[in-house]
Structure 1
Amino acid sequence: MPVGAYDCDVLVVGGGIVGLSTAYAVTRAAPGTRVTVLEKEPGPARHQTGRNSGVVHSGIYYRPGSLKARYAVRGAAEMVKFCAEYGIAHAVTGKLIVATERAELPRLHALVQRGRENGIPVRELGPAQIAEYEPEVRGLAAIHVGTTGVCDFVGVTRQLAHASGAEIRYGAKVVRVDRRPERGVAVRTAAGDIVRARVLVNCAGLYCDELARLTGDEPGVRIVPFRGEYYELARPELVRGLVYPVPDPAFPFLGVHLTRGIDGGVHIGPNAVPALAREGYGWGVVRPRELAGTMAWPGSWAIARRHWRYGAGELHRSVSKGAFLEAVRRLLPAAEPTDLVRAPAGVRAQAVLRDGTLVDDFLIKEAPRAVHVLNAPSPAATASLPIGREIGRRVLDMLGAD
């Protein structure tokens, strides 16, 4: 296909923070590259990017040398700098990770070691020192992580869209992809528009595996959606900053935590329960085709067999405010039932292998004329700037090979 026949050089599907960071990275690294972004919603950051705790993660949880660890440590510093440069609301608050039971102490000490291996400043605290940071929080021991913060990720995404110079089309849902390795990629939207590009970048989040298959590639994983449910703390003065439990390393979830956001409100959560649709933000949202696809994937049943006890506890907290309050009181004994006010939920796009393994790191796969981002869990928002550069590098390599 001659150059003039292309509508753009790079077509990004997905207007979340990773997709728009990729557009930003490509145009920064190669000025003059024509980038188009297709987003099915009427604006950016309507799903995972805009439905989370807003935390700029330090990188303390992640295995040294993993993409998560490298990108989070680097990305946290870059995110704070980006927010400062463009006047986006942010704060470096630090956070506490608190052990409330003796069985958690070895895991807490392991986090100290992991943090130091990742180059993160960590301070160990006893009960009296916990109270210096958070007077209402109780625990046997804790660590203070100084580089954690909060920011407005929706504001960051909007700024990335503006600064990228990309053409961004909202309300543009992709329904068909025609890829010909020697000619490029043509995409048709639900409105009937055709967009032709030299390279496709799949940043479709909750639908990334489906888009990969539309492109003709087998992703090797399926997205299994997990809903994270939140409450707002009616008495935000009970919490000064960010307070987390010691996570269970068997799961890629951080547990119910307390997060004072940039607006001064305190979010509590999330738990993690299976969603009945990829955008299933409540039990009443059921999409039979999507649910059937989840149930047909062998990995979904393997997860259920392996982790049914953990899952039962999460489901209990979902349907019982009292059970959720009990989890909160482990960290914040002063919390009362009236302190918990329902807040909007989020859905995590969790990539799952056929054997039930939850993919724990970022997963980016290349195919002819395409780059697929198949797993971008937390800390993807924190790490979005270096992730965007990595995807952009792969895209520009493909363009250079033409």
Structure 2
Amino acid sequence: MVIGGGILGLAVAWELTRRGTDVTVLEKEDHWAAHQTGHNSNVVHAGLYYKPGSFKARMSTAGNRSIVDFARLYGVPVEVCGKLVVATSDDELPALQVLADRAEANGVPAKLISPSEARAYEPEVSCVGALRVESTGIIDFPAVCAALVRLLDETGADLRLSTPALAIRSTDRGVEVATGDDVIRADALVNCAGLQSDRVARLAGLTPSARIVPFRGEYYELKPERRNLVRGLIYPVPNASLPFLGVHLTRMLDGSVHAGPNAVLALSREGYGWGDISAKDLAEVARFPGLWRLARKYAYPTGLDEVRRSFSKKRFAKSLARLVPAVQPEDIVRHGSGVRAQALLPNGALVDDFLIETAPHQVHVLNAPSPAATSALEIAKHVADQVA
């Protein structure tokens, strides 16, 4: 049994069916890909950011190939367009070199290029140096989920929407899951519940090593008449101490150009706006010492700057103008948001890698933010091995 109907849960279900296992998938919402999968930037990541040898490095580089192959095989829109990571000042050049070295260590096709070479790709970009990454792409991740659902339907998988897991009990032979209308028995449980993954783990009797803390990322997009400012994907050199890549510009499959996201603490596990507030979620986060230790480290000035940018179009546009100076506040309009399920340790450390914990008859995916969508088919193979 798989709990969670995002791209990872569906990919795990499909991998298990390919291995001859009968699978039930439970999704509490009334449609698939309702949360992280359906609210991200739809970028197929190359794998250059991640520590060599880590789960993220290995699974994103392999996933970059497998998700593109899957899309092409099953008619999902995808384009391997490449991207630029740009240093906008001399003090960012050492970090750009570190990225280039990491790309080489991870087997990612990338090369350092000059400002004039960068402008051949992106005429409006401003930089003192850039890294060209060829294997980055754009895809429709919800369409990947729709394809996986079709494949699972064809195999006879039991796919249940609007079916939350309300109670979980371990037995000698497996697990029992109460959904309100039914009690479902299975040989094994796989938790791919994303924003609710630590709660599902606790429901199943596990004491997870990390707690999910939700961070909302807000997006703008360029107005149609200003889309010509960006041809592909333009990213800043990221802050190595943070799990977020910084606001960037992304040309989507339909030609629109998305800008963002920023990163602010969400006031609900599934809070896509400042007005989405859950007293239960806030109380739980407030009681968690890891959040306060994280806040002492990042609240000022980093966290404060992110909040200010959330409320100020002018500040958001200024961040984009570091990459493309022609972008002005009047060129952008708001375009939705997503919530990242970030695992946090009690000592305040952000969990940097994918985190998967097991118990008898149970596998729990407790940290799978970006690049999990890119890596979904590879994570699914690893999880299926754990189930076996």
The answer on whether the counterparts of 2:267 and 2:274 sit within 8 Å (CA) in structure 1 is: yes
Aligned to 1:227: 216
The alignment's C-alpha RMSD in Å is 0.8
Displacement of 1:353 in angstroms is: 0.2
2:348 equivalent to 1:335: no
Displacement of 1:340 in angstroms is: 1.0
Displacement of 1:198 in angstroms is: 1.1
Match of 2:4 among 5, 9, 14: 14
Displacement of 1:344 in angstroms is: 1.1
- List gaps (5 residues or longer) in structure 2: none
- Normalised by the size of structure 2, how large is the TM-score? 0.97
Match of 1:297 among 273, 288, 293: 288
Match of 1:148 among 136, 149, 163: 136
Aligned to 2:182: 193
2:338 equivalent to 1:350: no
Aligned to 1:4: none
Aligned to 1:376: 368
| Counterpart residue identity of residue 91, structure 2 | A
2:234 equivalent to 1:243: yes
- SS of the counterpart of 1:354? coil
Count the aligned residue pairs. Answer: 382
| Counterpart residue identity of residue 193, structure 2 | A
| Counterpart residue identity of residue 355, structure 1 | N
Match of 1:385 among 364, 377, 385: 377
Displacement of 1:174 in angstroms is: 1.2
Displacement of 1:102 in angstroms is: 1.4
Displacement of 1:163 in angstroms is: 1.4
Q: How does 1:198-213 map to 2 (within 5 A)?
A: 198-213=187-202
| Counterpart residue identity of residue 269, structure 2 | R
| Counterpart residue identity of residue 206, structure 2 | D
Displacement of 1:179 in angstroms is: 1.5
The answer on whether the counterparts of 2:318 and 2:328 sit within 8 Å (CA) in structure 1 is: no
The answer on whether the counterparts of 2:194 and 2:368 sit within 8 Å (CA) in structure 1 is: yes
Aligned mates of 2:108, 2:194 — CA distance in 1: 29
Aligned to 1:129: 117
Aligned to 1:271: 262
Displacement of 1:108 in angstroms is: 0.2
Deviations 1:16-43 (A, max 9, x none): 0010000011111x22x21000001111
Aligned mates of 1:271, 1:337 — CA distance in 2: 16
Structure 1 stretches of 4+ with a deviation exceeding 3 A read none
- SS of the counterpart of 1:174? coil
Aligned mates of 1:340, 1:393 — CA distance in 2: 46
Match of 2:251 among 250, 253, 260: 260
Deviations 1:282-330 (A, max 9, x none): 0000000011101111100011001112111111101111111110100
Aligned mates of 2:347, 2:150 — CA distance in 1: 42
Aligned mates of 1:79, 1:184 — CA distance in 2: 31
Deviations 1:73-100 (A, max 9, x none): 0000111111110111000000000000
Instruction: Report sequence identity in percent.
Output: 52
- SS of the counterpart of 1:212? helix
- SS of the counterpart of 1:381? coil
2:209 equivalent to 1:217: no
Aligned to 1:8: none
- List gaps (5 residues or longer) in structure 1: 1-10, 397-402
- SS of the counterpart of 2:322? helix
Aligned mates of 2:379, 2:173 — CA distance in 1: 27
Aligned to 1:24: 14
Displacement of 1:192 in angstroms is: 2.5
Aligned to 2:302: 310
Aligned to 1:69: 57
Match of 1:325 among 317, 325, 331: 317
Aligned mates of 1:124, 1:34 — CA distance in 2: 48
| Counterpart residue identity of residue 14, structure 2 | Y
- SS of the counterpart of 1:139? coil
